[in-house]
Amino acid sequence: MRLDVVTNRPAPLTVTAPGMLAEWRIGALLQAVAVRDATTGQLFLDIGNSRYPARIASGDGSGPTEGEQLQVRVLRTSPVLALEMVQSTQPDPADGELKADALRRYLPKQASPAQLTSNLGFIARDSEDTVSLPKIVMQAAANLWQALPEASTLSNAKTLEQAVARSGVFLESTLAGGDRAESAAAAKTDLKALMLQLSRVLGEQGARPSAGMTDTSAPAPLPHSRGPISALPSAPATLSLLDTPAQQMNELARQVDGAIARLTTVQVANTAQDNTAMQSLLVELPVRQDDRASMVRLRFERDGSRKQYSDGDQSWTVEAALDLGAIGALHARVTLNGHRIGVQLRAESPAVVDTLSARRMELEGMLRESGLEVDRIVCLHGMPAGDSGPRPTRLLDVRA
């Protein structure tokens, strides 16, 4: 089957992969996912991190189905981009339904972990105000608080790797591995494991999540694998507003359950990606700074559809978003193509942008000393536009 890309411009609701078309060459093999418009049936191809309208030029008139994974070869690039389908794999309906069911279960319950981490810090620094909480609850909360990585350690590659590994995203994978030592270590250091332990302890002490302060949930952008990521806003410690141990435990139980549902939603979002060429990992990492906590959102992407470089390196993109409190959010995007690196820094505060710009040459010097070729470093005012593209799966299935 031959497919023609109708235009070299991606569909407007998706994220463009800069320079993607310039790197396509005749004979190159690309990974694509077929997407059908629900109303018109128009065929689109997801290639890299962009979506292109396409048409059937020859072969099967019906063409690929929704979600079908394709391996295509570039036949020609002019006057239109012509692709030959080499191999295709139909999506597994059972796998899609499993992920959809998980989202239906956890997405309505998810809440930003920012309130939970603020209350953990409150318990750690103001124990005289929460001394009436059961000792076992205090200990479980302290274990979780101490397991949060220190913000200052994330500038080191090794400690950042350890923090991501213990973020809770890989808990089930670690336990399924069957290594007893790793499973025992996860029970003491993995954030999801420690949240589950705190939830269990609160339940044993009679805490009722449904009796928490339901009107105080912090806003939280939904986790998904497309588009730029936005920061999770900081939140106040709501335990300071409550008088009795029962009220405090109910509120803590509500926030723990919301944070666990949020983390599970992130895990589902990571596994629900329909494009094998663009592998993406989203991590939401709570970090400590003295007696305060904040949320760092990270996304790591490897673009397998782009050409590999002579030394075997591939194209990587790392995005990070952090709320700085009263001065707004900070967003960073780093792209690495072989040994060429580009950095884009954005801030909501003009003062922060000025500070970043003043140290731009210092950062460039550090990158060059590391053996990297710097394409550019830019500092911009304002956050990147959010994604309004399609969700990876349906949350509601209505049948007549």
Q: Which burial class, exposed, middle or buried, applies to 278 when counting CB atoms under 10 A from its CB (0-12, 13-18, 19+)? A: buried
Q: Is residue 395 part of a domain?
A: no
| H or E stretch at 233 | none
Does residue 264 sit in the same domain as residue 167?
yes
Q: Does residue 363 contact residue 377 with C-beta atoms inside 8 Å?
A: yes
Residue 336 included in any domain: no
Indicate if 51 and 108 belong to the same structural domain. Answer: no
Q: Beta 50-58 vs 69-76: how paired, if at all?
A: unpaired
Residues 30 and 107 in one domain: no
Q: How far is Cα 280 from Cα 271, in angstroms, rounded to an integer?
A: 9
- Is 286 a domain residue? no
CA pair distance 340, 306, nearest whole angstrom: 14
- The answer to the question of residue 377 being in a domain is no
pLDDT of residue 305: 57
Q: What are the residues whose beta carbons fall under 8 Å from the beta carbon of 150, sequence distance 6 or more?
A: 287, 288, 289
Does residue 204 fall inside a structural domain?
yes
Q: Has residue 368 been placed in a domain?
A: no
Q: Give percent of the chain with pLDDT exceeding 70.
A: 79
pLDDT of 11: 44
Mark whether 102 and 243 lie in a shared domain: yes
- Distance (Å, whole) CA 42 – CA 37: 5
Judge if 137 and 232 occupy the same domain: yes
Spell out the residues 6+ positions from residue 290 whose beta carbon is closer than 8 angstroms to its own. Answer: none
Question: Does residue 396 fall inside a structural domain?
Answer: no
Q: Is the same domain home to 122 and 267?
A: yes
- What pLDDT is attached to residue 254? 94
Residues 158 and 37 in one domain: no
Bigger pLDDT: 273 or 147?
A: 147
Tell me, yes or no, whether 15 and 154 share the same domain.
Answer: no
Give residue-wise pLDDT tens across range 143-165: 999 999 999 999 888 999 999 99
Instruction: Please report how many Cα atoms fall inside a 13 Å half-sphere around the Cα of residue 202, on the Cβ side.
Output: 27
Tell me which of 11-25, 111-125, 373-387 is least confident. 11-25
Residues β-bridged to residue 73: 29, 84
Name the residue among 224, 219, 220 with its Cα closest to residue 388.
224
Question: Of the candidates 275, 308, 330, which is a domain's last residue?
Answer: 275
Query: On the CB side of 328, how many CA atoms lie within 13 Å of its CA?
Result: 13
Same domain, 112 and 187: yes
H helices, E strands: number in the chain: 11, 12
The letter for the amino acid at 210 is S
Nearest to 207 by CA among 271, 160, 254: 254
| CATH, residue 73 | 2.40.50
Q: Is residue 249 part of a domain?
A: yes
Tell me what the mean pLDDT of segment 76-102 comes to.
74
The reply to whether 157 and 201 lie within a common domain is yes
Q: Is 385 exposed, middle or buried (0-12, 13-18, 19+ CB in 10 A)?
A: exposed
280: pLDDT confidence band, cut at 50, 70 and 90? confident
Task: Based on the fold, state whether residues 117 and 170 are members of the same structural domain.
Answer: yes
Same domain, 233 and 182: yes
Domain tally, the chain: 2
As a whole number of angstroms, the longest Cα–Cα distance in the chain is 75
Q: Is 162 exposed, middle or buried (0-12, 13-18, 19+ CB in 10 A)?
A: middle
pLDDT band, residue 258 (cuts 50/70/90): very high
- Non-local (6+) Cβ contacts of 305 within 8 A are 20, 30, 31, 32, 47, 48, 277, 278
What pLDDT, on a 0 to 100 scale, did the predictor assign at position 129? 53
Q: Which of 259, 275, 291 is the last residue of a domain?
A: 275
Domain span including residue 27: 2-91
> Which of the listed residues 260, 275, 290 is the one where a domain comes to its end?
275
Rounded average pLDDT over 63-70: 80
Q: Is the peptide bond before 384 cis (omega within 30 degrees of 0)?
A: no
What value does the CA radius of gyration of the chain take, rounded to a whole number of Å?
23
Task: Classify the C-alpha dihedral 358-363-366-368 as positive or negative.
Answer: negative
Residue 219: pLDDT above 50?
Answer: yes
- Which token pair is 187? 């029970």
Residue 145's CB: how many other CB atoms inside 10 A? 21
Q: Between 146 and 218, whose confidence is greater?
A: 146
